[in-house]
Structure 1
Amino acid sequence: MSPLSVVPAMVGPMLVTQRDDPGDAGPQALPETLLNLLGQLSPAAPVDPARSALVDQAVSVLRRPGFDTLLSLPQLAFEPFDYQRETASTVLRRMRGRAILADEVGLGKTIEAGLIASELRLRGLADRTLVITPAGLVEQWRDELERKFGLPTAIVTGKDRAIDERGNRPVLLASLAAARRDPLKAELTGAGWDLVIADEAHRLRSARSASGKLIRALSARFLLLLTATPVENRLQDLYEMISLVAPGLLGTPAQFRARHVAAGGDVNSPRNLAELRSRTRQVMVRHRRSEVALRLPQRLAETTLVTPDTDEQALYAELTERIRVEAKEAPAARRLALRAVARLAGSTPAAAAPTMTKLGWTDLAATAKSITYPAKLRVLTAKLGEYAARGEKVLVFTAFRQTLDTVAEAARAAGISAVVYHGGLPRAEKERVIGAFRDTEQVLLSTESAGEGRNLQFCHVMINLDLPWNPMQIEQRLGRLHRVGQTHDVLLTNLACRGTIEERVLHVLETKINMFELVVGELDMILGRIDEDFDFEKAVFEAFASTENESAFARRMDEIGEELAAARTSYLADRRNVDALAGEDNE
């Protein structure tokens, strides 16, 4: 106790103080103002412990920093960009946790949403958090939240009780396809949520769709909608999106149309644009790459056309003829098997042999097995040797385990040190392999598993030994290297045999949409404009199987390419529209 502290004590009828200063001469009388105060307090009721605890909690809250200070930053496993931190603060402070994150693709809307979720959970404001995302992005979200933010996650399907967990609840992840159907829909809409995050939220705009009905049936205090294109064909798209996070901000539908929608609903020339932009910015954050000065290194893509050996050409020609003949009358299951063998044949003949056997084509299977060192594999081995001599790391992708084993054996025979990664490895072994590739090994041979969620920016050279017919898988592969944090231009080589489906697919993707010049994420925006359920791989096979010869197949693929080109034009127009409605002025 300091010499200036006082302790009241009763000495006869007079209240005095005792000083704990040893040099003090004795008791002193209290000032009259203090005596009056003590006199008023003496008949008061005893302090209520519950009220006292409530006051302590209130004081604790008042002393807690506001959302200008992000408490979660020290717990992150990465360093967010300034604009991402500013977005989180803006959404929490000014938008009260209900917002549309509409950054251009590739700028990290997932990071911004993760920051907001982390901040709310740390402050005890979002114990019950739900993330709804397209099925193909569920694992990516899980990886981002766990690795970068240290947030526990659980994937829900409607068959477990994770939704009812108490205590330190994980962030729940659900695919949009599963969430909009019972039994999961009933569980999700019957629960109360602190925070709901919806990725690719442009799929939720229509109140008449199953997805739109789902988001409108969820109850959430905080709501984040993530989409690079909140506006597409109609200005009404904007109204639907904003009304989800801020009902009434744009008035009733009739008021919105009267105030802002020009004749015909043209999104390019809304009425009262300044007013509309002002209201939009109250709930929407939009960054462009040009604004945040975020520039990724270039993608330098090349296609190496390999001339197959004579026996390979003969095998592929016979396989093509059999597929086209059988596909005309084949039931659905048989057609799937025919599609699978066509894809496998584009990898290596030996990879296709087991499926050929299952189809009953034992003669073709025997021929395929006999081709142990095809031309494409020789080209790959030579390229790996060149990169190894220069001391550069190389990531090699194949879609198939059979090919992976063949490539690993060929690499060892050529004296090339390589590690192998595939989905069948235990988690600890996967971590060991990635660590070895990062620290000591020059070559990583991988199936699609490394194309999902792994960040390998320490490497900048990639070779596609075989080409997925689904361009989104190509994008996912490339996205492991070409992402924020990469410091070198990314060198991509696509290997394709002449006269194959892969050659035709590459031609369409390169000439019609300049695929390898797109930013990660833009391809999905383009494909989604053809049809929400558009299946590029299925379209390729149908074109291949339904045409009589290679010339007819090429013409059909060009028609698909024109659809892609039109979708790309539409996407670029929509991006400009969003900039006009929500982007910052450049003046």
Structure 2
Amino acid sequence: MPVPAPPVRPPIAPGVTVVVRDEEWLVTSVDVTNDGQLLHVQGLGALVKGTTASFYDSLDDIQVLDPAQAMLTPDASPGYRRTKLWLEATLRKTPVPLSDDKLVVSTQMLADPLAYQQSAVRKALSPDNLRTRILLADAVGLGKTLEIGMILAELVRRGRGDRILIVCPRHVLEQMQHEMWTRFALPFVRLDSVGVQRVKQKLPATRNPFTFYRRVIISIDTLKQDRFANDLRGHRWDAVVIDESHNVTNSATQNNRLARILAPSTDALILASATPHNGREESFAELIRLLEPTAVTPDGRLREDEVKRLVVRRHRHSPEVANVVGADWAERKEPQNLLIPASAQEDAVADELDRVWLHPQGSSPYSGKVTQLFPWTLAKAFLSSPAALRASIHNRIRTLQAHPAPDQQRELDALHRLDKLNDASYATAGGKYGRLVSYLRAIGVAKDSSTRAVVFAERVDTLHWLQQRLRKEFGMAEDQVTVLHGGLTDVDQQEVVESFKQAGSPIRVLVTGDVASEGVNLHKQCHELIHYDIPWSLIRLEQRNGRIDRYGQKVSPQITTLLLQPSSQTFSGDLVVLTKLLEREEQAHKALGDAASLMGKYSVEAEEEEILKVLAGQQDLDEVVADVATVASGGGLAGLLARLSKAPAQPTASAANHPRTLLYTKQVDFLRDALQEAFRTPAARPQANGVGWKEYPQDRIAEFAPPADLRQRLEVLPATYLSDRKVLEDFKLVTTPTRGQEVLAEALVDTSSHTSWPEAHYLGPLHPVLDWAADQALASLSRNEVFALRGTVDVPTVLLLGTLTNRRGQVVAASFMAVEFYDPDSPHGFVTPYGTPQEMLEAVGLTGSASNPGAPAGIDKLQALMPAAVRDGDAYLEQVFVAAADSTQQRVDDWVQRTDAWMDAYESDVLIKRSEVKQRRIGVAEEKKLLASMAPDRQLLRPLAMILPADHPVAAPPAAPMATGPTLFTGSEA
């Protein structure tokens, strides 16, 4: 016999209360699957309070509580504290609708209120977009990480950020985690090598870590591992961030394949890169396709109107930026390009390179057949350091000796002769190294000084050579001159970066390779950057300089380049090319904010190859490196991005965009009341049924011992932070944003600490502590109850909240209303709508302080008004939600039709490979499925409270309760 299909249940909307397995749960989100509706819930009942679970409606008996049957319960608490807590918690848990473009939480975080960053967030959240898809292509130093955090914070408040994946370079994993937590109160688990080991110990091999951890920060290299790559398939995300996204543009790489898996499996996709393409339109188009497949025509052409909608591009001197950064981004000093006469030993090496290898009178000794540019590889190593040249010579000798050929003896002889000359240079101080030492002394670097410097060099051999010599030269300890390069483990790299930010760090000279040129913030304690060698790439120069020349740099940064000048006229002339390269980077910095567009290669390796050809006399520099003015006024990608960066400054967000809490003046007031209600004596010792609550108003700090269910929510944070700051034992919270910024800054200058994670954490609106407190408040009422209390109304009034949601459980529209009953015997009330919950609460007198004379009498008689209020509210919602539903459905339909037409054109193009068509079809099909789930299909009405006139009679007082023991709260707080 055929198995009967499970019964089709009516759609269940987030926000509704359900009873499953005889426990009460709040539905937080709903996924529509092939097996029915999957409900994600939070426990409200006594046994499940503070827990989360997921239930399929096809497997469990799910009872949806009827709002018309909500029971009234009188509120006799002081100042109606119980009602205010419950209402505040309910409204906090109700997502802001997708159509609301106001910045509701990101402006209350620990980020400076910069208009250009806020405009990027508003663009990402624009109601014209069905979902958040954006490429943050701001130039180096503008704070893309903060923009990412602000967007994610707004998505969380809209119920669209429960499951978030951030993919970033491995050396900035902790930096990203630190910024998300300290500034935005978003806790992420960090899956670096240590985090991966924790996963292996905690989870069985068959368990998908992405279902266990809701918010994850991971590197692309770790994500490539078979375990994680396989776990990605079939997993849905609310938001995915790919930082340094230019690393995923090559369609032939595994990075790109991972990006293609992620893009259609997430609602929001945020890409970030200061160099968003490699000069080829197809690479930039690949990023745009990830965001919106139909924004690129089937034949690969960009649709400029879509690019403008999907891309944010500004630089230091864009109107939108220059007008607001002020003293928080000190203008860089005029760069110093120091020409240093070579020592006698260096001159001998340079002369040998010039006469024998670079500009030989006869044939070159180089026997390679693939390229004749190897001699310039030797020259580049020489310009880096004697150690780098020694490594290059020895590597080449080993290669030749491994596969000897008769015609290679001449090259071996020349290499040995060059090696001998280089040994003499290696053993002496040298002109360039000596100039580095004198410069470091001149700026104040010393063993017992606080002055710091970053020294960049390309070759690892140079880094270690400099480290050893500088330690000895300055008499410094081992940890005072530190090397950072890509060969270190991810944990070691993060430790170096983390240490260098802090005033208490022992590091005085950070000698680093180009691994630190992307994404790393080195400006907190440093404003001196020295190029010990010159990267033959404008991109790399720009990236290096951006480590200290960025927003938040209070001291004008000084960029210094050491240029070795041999006496050889020919070789010296070659250095003119490199000097001009430095000058062009500075011009591009001021005019374009994008040095890469001058060469149009958008790849470090490709730029280096072109410069090599210039040095070898095969091309002219002006042919390879374009004039800045020409690029700014030209077409193509460079011209398009230049036009985007010149957009006029956006208006600053109005104060109306920054609502605070609804019923509480401060976040700490809500937390304090929630603890008082949940624990009665929260200031008592934790062992005595309290949490040890203390407040220090002068310091604007509160502290308490987190209970077990709260500690569980914080365990995704770094174990070192939790233990060093004793977070799980005594959680310190900063109660104002000003003090929060101070505490963050103090953590960096605290010489007694070895961490930049602050001792006290800012209590922002998304803080897990407040979410936990809201759960406590929601669990305070019994099943399907609402409070009855007095307010500034003339007749009994029922407050209602209506929401329209889509199949993904996202709130499309919300409506707040009051149903007033002027005639208690009438079956109908009068519906008064309000634009915001604040307006509704103010209208009934709940936003101010109030005294409670006692529980209202006659609740049983008023109970009959609840079904009537729900019925009237439902009828009103059906009218007001029609327009919102039609508008959203029309946008979904338009997108699907546009996608269908695009796919037809794609499949009919005979020039496109069939494998490519299949891959694109699968990706677009996933996009269509995701978009279709955004069409609204369910409506929910929730009673919030019944408000009675102020003169409503008081019920008879209950018998005096038994004493519960002393409390440390006094006055009205008791």
TM-score range, shorter chain: 0.5 to 0.7
Change (3 A) 1:162 1:393: farther
- Paired residue for 2:336, among 271, 279, 302? 302
- Paired residue for 1:291, among 303, 320, 325? 320
Q: 1:303 offset after TM fit, Å?
A: 0.6
Tell me, what secondary structure is at the counterpart of 2:526? coil
- Paired residue for 1:477, among 544, 548, 555? 544
Ranked by relative contact order (alpha carbons within 8 Å, sequence separation 6 or more), the top structure is 2
Report if the CA contact (8 A) 2:454-2:510 is conserved: yes
Q: 1:149 offset after TM fit, Å?
A: 0.6
1:368-379 maps to which residues of 2 (within 5 A)?
368-371=422-425, 372-379=428-435
Find the counterpart in structure 1 of residue 441 from structure 2. Answer: 385
Q: 1:455 offset after TM fit, Å?
A: 2.4
Tell me how far apart the structure 2 counterparts of residues 355 and 244 of structure 1 sit (CA, whole Å).
Answer: 41
Report if the CA contact (8 A) 2:114-2:325 is conserved: no
Q: 1:168 offset after TM fit, Å?
A: 1.3
Change (3 A) 1:580 1:465: closer
Q: 1:521 offset after TM fit, Å?
A: 6.0
Q: Which amino acid aligns with 2:432?
A: K
Report if the CA contact (8 A) 1:75-1:149 is conserved: no
Change (3 A) 1:128 1:340: farther
Q: 1:420 offset after TM fit, Å?
A: 1.8
Report if the CA contact (8 A) 2:456-2:514 is conserved: yes
Report if the CA contact (8 A) 2:278-2:602 is conserved: no
Report if the CA contact (8 A) 2:530-2:561 is conserved: yes
Answer yes or no: is 1:51 the counterpart of 2:118: no
Answer yes or no: is 1:192 the counterpart of 2:241: no
Change (3 A) 1:440 1:220: closer
Answer yes or no: is 1:221 the counterpart of 2:261: no
Answer yes or no: is 1:458 the counterpart of 2:487: no
Change (3 A) 1:169 1:388: same
Answer yes or no: is 1:403 the counterpart of 2:470: no
Q: Which amino acid aligns with 1:377?
A: Y
Report if the CA contact (8 A) 2:314-2:646 is conserved: no
Report if the CA contact (8 A) 2:239-2:267 is conserved: yes
Q: Which amino acid aligns with 2:189?
A: P
Change (3 A) 1:317 1:581: same
Q: 1:434 offset after TM fit, Å?
A: 2.2
Q: What is the TM-score when the length of structure 1 is the normalising length?
A: 0.65
Q: 1:346 offset after TM fit, Å?
A: 0.6
- Paired residue for 1:536, among 597, 603, 607? 607
Q: CA offsets, 1:122-161, max 9 Å, x none?
A: 77633444557xxxx63476355212113334489xxx99
Tell me, what secondary structure is at the counterpart of 1:366? helix
- Give the structure with the higher percent helix: 1
Tell me how far apart the structure 2 counterparts of residues 228 and 402 of structure 1 sit (CA, whole Å).
Answer: 29
Q: Superposition RMSD on alpha carbons, in Å?
A: 5.5
Structure 1 spans left out of the alignment, 5+ residues: 1-47, 255-263, 268-275
Q: What is the TM-score when the length of structure 2 is the normalising length?
A: 0.42
Find the counterpart in structure 2 of residue 560 from structure 1. Answer: 624
Q: Which amino acid aligns with 1:142?
A: L
Report if the CA contact (8 A) 1:70-1:89 is conserved: no
Q: Which amino acid aligns with 2:549?
A: H
Find the counterpart in structure 1 of residue 418 from structure 2. Answer: 364
Find the counterpart in structure 2 of residue 574 from structure 1. Answer: 640
1:207-356 maps to which residues of 2 (within 5 A)?
214=260, 218-226=264-272, 289-292=318-321, 293-295=324-326, 296-299=329-332, 300-324=334-358, 325=364, 329-331=368-370, 340-356=377-393
Find the counterpart in structure 1 of residue 579 from structure 2. Answer: 507
Find the counterpart in structure 1 of residue 211 from structure 2. Answer: 166
Find the counterpart in structure 1 of residue 663 from structure 2. Answer: none
Q: 1:302 offset after TM fit, Å?
A: 1.3
Report if the CA contact (8 A) 1:508-1:561 is conserved: no
Q: CA offsets, 1:239-258, max 9 Å, x none?
A: 9999976799x9x989xxxx
Tell me, what secondary structure is at the counterpart of 1:514? helix
Change (3 A) 1:435 1:302: closer
Q: 1:97 offset after TM fit, Å?
A: 4.2
Tell me, what secondary structure is at the counterpart of 1:107? coil
Q: 1:84 offset after TM fit, Å?
A: 3.1
Find the counterpart in structure 1 of residue 872 from structure 2. Answer: none
Q: Which amino acid aligns with 1:488?
A: V
Change (3 A) 1:459 1:495: same
Q: Which amino acid aligns with 1:535?
A: A
Q: Which amino acid aligns with 1:539?
A: E
Tell me, what secondary structure is at the counterpart of 2:581? helix
Q: 1:388 offset after TM fit, Å?
A: 1.6
Q: Which moved more, 1:490-499 or 1:123-132?
A: 123-132
Tell me, what secondary structure is at the counterpart of 1:166? helix
Change (3 A) 1:417 1:247: closer
Report if the CA contact (8 A) 1:234-1:265 is conserved: no
Tell me, what secondary structure is at the counterpart of 2:325? coil
Q: Which moved more, 1:119-128 or 1:493-502?
A: 119-128
Tell me how far apart the structure 1 counterparts of residues 273 and 514 of structure 2 sit (CA, whole Å).
Answer: 26
Tell me how far apart the structure 2 counterparts of residues 398 and 204 of structure 1 sit (CA, whole Å).
Answer: 26
Find the counterpart in structure 1 of residue 554 from structure 2. Answer: 487
Report if the CA contact (8 A) 2:388-2:462 is conserved: yes
Change (3 A) 1:450 1:240: closer
Q: Which amino acid aligns with 1:171?
A: V
Report if the CA contact (8 A) 2:597-2:638 is conserved: no
Answer yes or no: is 1:434 the counterpart of 2:500: yes
Tell me how far apart the structure 1 counterparts of residues 579 and 249 of structure 2 sit (CA, whole Å).
Answer: 34
Q: 1:352 offset after TM fit, Å?
A: 1.6
Find the counterpart in structure 1 of residue 30 from structure 2. Answer: none
Q: Which amino acid aligns with 2:341?
A: T
Q: CA offsets, 1:327-347, max 9 Å, x none?
A: 573447x977x6653322112
Q: CA offsets, 1:210-252, max 9 Å, x none?
A: 969948972322233557899999999999999976799x9x9
Q: Which moved more, 1:372-381 or 1:295-304?
A: 295-304
Find the counterpart in structure 2 of residue 258 from structure 1. Answer: none
Change (3 A) 1:197 1:451: closer
Q: CA offsets, 1:542-573, max 9 Å, x none?
A: 444xx3xxxx36x6334322488855654774
Change (3 A) 1:287 1:316: closer
Find the counterpart in structure 1 of residue 868 from structure 2. Answer: none
- Paired residue for 1:84, among 113, 117, 120? 117
Change (3 A) 1:208 1:481: closer
Q: CA offsets, 1:363-382, max 9 Å, x none?
A: 32222122221111111111
Answer yes or no: is 1:394 the counterpart of 2:453: yes
Answer yes or no: is 1:145 the counterpart of 2:180: no
- Paired residue for 2:147, among 112, 120, 130? 112
Q: 1:486 offset after TM fit, Å?
A: 0.6
Tell me, what secondary structure is at the counterpart of 2:239? strand
